[in-house]
Amino acid sequence: MTSAAKSSTPEASSPQSIPLSATPEQQQVIERIALQRERLRARRAARAQSLALAERNPGLGGTVDESMALRLAGFAREHPVAVAAVAAGALVAGPRRLVRWAGVVLPLVMRLRRKAL
């Protein structure tokens, strides 16, 4: 194909080519799409890196195979303020209300765990 044929149909040459006469609004949309694609690429790269680290260092925790108690203990170590807030809320709510809510929440948690495995 000659260079004259290529320049006569820039949109037809590739589906991702950008028209030369984009309005400012279209240009903003194109830039937002490009930023989103960069964010998605970065997220995929970070996920791949964390999976590679988890495979390389299985003793660091955070795996799916850990028991719920081990994961809760790890969460308590990493987020002591959140655990203190939940404990204070449990004290304020009282035992009767806690048992009632546990009857609602525990079946949901167990169903989610079954789906995740």
Per-residue confidence (pLDDT) for residue 54, from 0 to 100? 77
Over residues 58-81, mean pLDDT: 77
Q: By C-alpha distance, which of 85, 88, 59 is closest to 74?
A: 59
Over residues 39-47, mean pLDDT: 94
Per-residue confidence (pLDDT) for residue 17, from 0 to 100? 62
Per-residue confidence (pLDDT) for residue 5, from 0 to 100? 47
Q: What is the token pair recorded at 21? A: 């006469």
Do 6 and 13 touch, CB atoms closer than 8 A?
Answer: yes
Helix locations, 3-67, DSSP H: 3-8, 10-13, 24-56
Q: By C-alpha distance, which of 61, 90, 54, 102 is closest to 78?
A: 61
Over residues 75-85, mean pLDDT: 93
Per-residue confidence (pLDDT) for residue 78, from 0 to 100? 93
Per-residue confidence (pLDDT) for residue 100, from 0 to 100? 92
